[in-house]
DNA sequence: TCCTGGCAGTCGGTATCGTTGACTGCCAAC
DNA sequence: GTTGGCAGTCAACGATACCGACTGCCAGGA
């Protein structure tokens, strides 16, 4: 598609632009990169690259910057599998060696880690509870009309939902309901919620009502999983135009937008979405790099970073991959 | 301290500046506000107000803007107790009538509510677990070396911590430890953690070790309470200078800074901290309006909003007060 | 004594206008 | 196919001037 020289020039433009955020001109490339031709030749090649949509000029008399298509080519064909420097990988290693305590906290701190390493906004989608086996289910009465359903998963994650109960409900009915729920769920996953049928002990009034409420409450929870975001303020540094900053920040605050964005990219099996590729218009100046978190072959979550389209893709890819990998391992052995 | 006319002028300047974010000149005040004197007189008064530190000129030949001291005077003496308009108060009412489910979610949505109503960043410091009675304590084994301690509070809040356990620990020892913990804590608050002594049943090996780990884990949790923040991106709209935006956003991302800021203000019994008053230098262009959340006379948390010093204090005060009040009531009856 | 209108002075903001410099595209020569 | 050279374009920058929104001050009037 692109001959070697064009490829080399495109690569040089992308690298240079990522490093400086300034349009890069033909003479820079002629001198700085190892391509042994004059700037005039490079100019000619760049004109072709522009015609084919890999580069644009912000205005006449300016150098070129990559288009989304240019970045895409770079990521697909040119980005070397980017080894992380030793400092970074040691940093990640130490982080996960030291990680302990509640999963929620670990994920939260993982998003901070990603922000620190990539200087971009980071997203961590917590392990969906769906495929995790349930360890215990309990129902705890809070008042005459309210109770909490507490589910402990095999990973140690605890989830609770408050449900309303009938004021007339007896404690023994609550116990019976809890026992029935426990029997139906413990050892299997929340997916089997649908299978929780009548208890068969509705001799005690209201047992099945409680079970129904609990199942309903747990079903909604499985939708809104844990989401951890950090580093949104790095966007303020990434763009000069204050308008873009506002737009991006406002969009990032709508968590569900970001979540479906990341989920969508992961589901499509992609690891990078560049500019308009992800389809979220207010974020068209941003790229997203994601990786699934896998435990025992199961896709249990995702991590990602979000930055300007001129982000450092090799580094971001390597970092995200490494973090998702280590996070998966860490989740696996606990 | 300030005669009536100066007071009226200061009030007019503050109101005008809050509305337009533009320096306000003497002639505006002469015409717009009901003070029946000429602009020359107002000019003279303004010069005095500037000398006394209530106003400043960004530069010669510009109007005046309030100083922190000016805002302070305004808030202390001039801000009418600000009734909320009907739309807003109905909004708040409906919100809390409809609020249900897990406390965490409610608090999260409360911070969104505050952001929507005030167009500022909002902070909600969740009820500290400290003074809430414990409903149940349980220990659930996750693997041979890990277990989860699950505490359900009377409010329905559930907290868990993962602890390590000895591989040799028997299930019956775990049960014994859980029973001892439950016996010591249920019905009282986490404050009594310190009183949890030896179980007296250490005949079963390792029981007391587990109890100790659990107590230690629960003690750290009581420090880092639930914190919910939202609307940070409104800061991008509040300031023109991109440098200020960056600085403020970066600071807001350091959660502990914001938390101690809010806590400090509440502890000092203040409801508004203006500019440098709160002592967090990077936020010196911001003011904070806070209110404690009180349940049964107990101070269980705080809500607040954070905006530019030229925020709408009457509205912010009224909103924060109303939300904290309703939130307290809502927490009280569940 | 206090208030007022008038006037001179200050200074940020905007518009205009060259100048500069970093580019490009094109072309003729190699 | 490659190159050096050259003319052309245009953003960025600085200088200049002008305008407009202020202020401070002062002398005259209630």
> What local confidence, expressed as pLDDT, does residue B224 receive?
57
Torsion over CA: A142, A146, A152, A157 (sign): negative
Whole-number Å distance between alpha carbons of B217 and B221: 7
- Read off the pLDDT of residues B149-173 as tens digits, 9 standing for 90 and up: 999 988 888 888 888 898 888 888 8
> What local confidence, expressed as pLDDT, does residue B72 receive?
97
Whole-number Å distance between alpha carbons of A257 and A236: 19
Residues in chain A closer than 8 A to B230 (CB atoms): 253
In the 3-class helix/strand/coil scheme, how is A134-152 assigned residue by residue? EEEEEEEECCCCEEEEEEE
| Cβ separation B156–A162 shorter than 8 A | yes
Give the CA distances from residue B299 to residues B126, B140, B187, B323, in Å, rounded to whole numbers and listed in that order.
11, 32, 19, 15
- In this complex, which protein residues place their C-beta within 7 A of any atom belonging to strand D? A 5, 36-41, 44, 59-62; B 23-28, 39-40, 43-44, 46-47, 50, 57, 60-64
- Read off the pLDDT of residues B202-217 as tens digits, 9 standing for 90 and up: 566 778 888 888 988 8
Of B152, B162, B233, the CB nearest to A101: B162
Task: Find, in chain A, the residue whose alpha carbon is nearest to that of B137.
Answer: A140
Please give the DSSP secondary-structure letter assigned to residue A119. S
| Residue A31 approaches strand C within 7 Å at CB | no
> What local confidence, expressed as pLDDT, does residue B133 receive?
86
| Cβ separation B334–A143 shorter than 8 A | yes
- Read off the pLDDT of residues B76-103 as tens digits, 9 standing for 90 and up: 998 877 677 888 899 999 999 988 778 8
Which chain C positions have some atom within 7 A of a protein CB?
3-6, 9-12, 21-27
Low-confidence ranges of chain A (pLDDT < 50): none
- Read off the pLDDT of residues B296-308 as tens digits, 9 standing for 90 and up: 888 889 999 999 9
| Residue A63 approaches strand C within 7 Å at CB | yes
Task: Please check the confidence at residue B222 and state whether its pLDDT lies above 60.
Answer: no
Mean pLDDT of B40-69: 94
| Cβ separation A232–B236 shorter than 8 A | no
Residue–nucleotide distance: A64 CA to D10 C1' (Å): 14
Residue A297 gets the label, from left (phi > 0), alpha (psi -120 to 50) or beta, of left
Task: Please check the confidence at residue B199 and state whether its pLDDT lies above 70.
Answer: no
| Cβ separation A253–B231 shorter than 8 A | yes
> What local confidence, expressed as pLDDT, does residue B132 receive?
79
- Read off the pLDDT of residues B17-38 as tens digits, 9 standing for 90 and up: 999 999 999 999 998 877 878 8
> What local confidence, expressed as pLDDT, does residue A70 receive?
96
Specify the pTM: 0.89
Helix and strand totals (H; E) in chain A: 12, 10
> What local confidence, expressed as pLDDT, does residue A53 receive?
95
Residues in chain B closer than 8 A to A161 (CB atoms): 101-102
Do residues B107 and B228 touch, judged by C-beta distance below 8 A?
Answer: yes
**% pLDDT > 90, chain B:** 57
- Read off the pLDDT of residues B100-138 as tens digits, 9 standing for 90 and up: 778 888 999 999 999 999 999 999 998 777 777 899 999
Task: Find, in chain A, the residue whose alpha carbon is nearest to that of B251.
Answer: A233
- Mutation test of the interface with chain B: which of A140, A214, A239, choosing the one with the most B Cβ atoms within 10 A? A140
């Amino acid at each position: 598609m692109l001959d070697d020289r064009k490829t080399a020039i495109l690569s040089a433009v992308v690298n240079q632009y990522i490093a400086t955020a300034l349009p890069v001109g033909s003479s820079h490339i002629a001198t700085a990169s190892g391509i042994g031709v004059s700037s005039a030749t490079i100019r000619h090649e760049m004109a072709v690259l522009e015609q084919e949509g890999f580069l644009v000029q912000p205005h006449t008399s300016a150098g070129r910057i990559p288009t989304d298509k240019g970045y895409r080519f770079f990521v697909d064909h040119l980005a070397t599998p980017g080894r992380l420097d030793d400092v970074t990988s040691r940093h990640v290693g130490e982080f996960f060696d030291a990680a302990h305590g509640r999963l929620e906290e670990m994920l939260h701190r993982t998003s901070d880690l990603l922000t620190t390493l990539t200087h971009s906004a980071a997203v961590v989608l917590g392990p969906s509870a769906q495929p995790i086996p349930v360890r215990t289910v309990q129902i705890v009465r809070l008042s005459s009309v309210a109770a909490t359903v507490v589910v402990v998963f095999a990973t140690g994650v605890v989830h609770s939902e408050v449900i309303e109960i009938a004021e007339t409900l007896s404690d023994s009915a609550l116990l019976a309901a809890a026992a029935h729920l426990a029997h139906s769920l413990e050892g299997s996953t929340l997916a089997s919620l649908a299978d929780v049928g009548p208890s068969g002990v509705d001799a005690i009034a209201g047992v099945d009502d409680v079970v129904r409420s609990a199942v309903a409450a747990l079903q909604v929870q499985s939708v809104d999983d844990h989401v951890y975001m950090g580093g949104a303020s790095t966007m303020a540094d990434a763009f000069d135009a204050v308008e873009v900053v506002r737009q991006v920040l406002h969009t990032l605050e709508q968590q569900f937008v970001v979540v479906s964005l990341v989920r969508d990219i992961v589901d499509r099996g992609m690891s990078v979405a560049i500019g308009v590729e992800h389809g979220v218009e207010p974020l068209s100046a941003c790229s997203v790099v994601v990786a699934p978190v896998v435990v025992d072959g199961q896709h249990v979550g995702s991590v990602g970073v979000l930055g300007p389209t001129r982000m450092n893709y090799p580094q971001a890819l390597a970092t995200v991959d490494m973090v998702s990998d280590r996070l998966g391992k860490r989740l696996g052995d606990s």
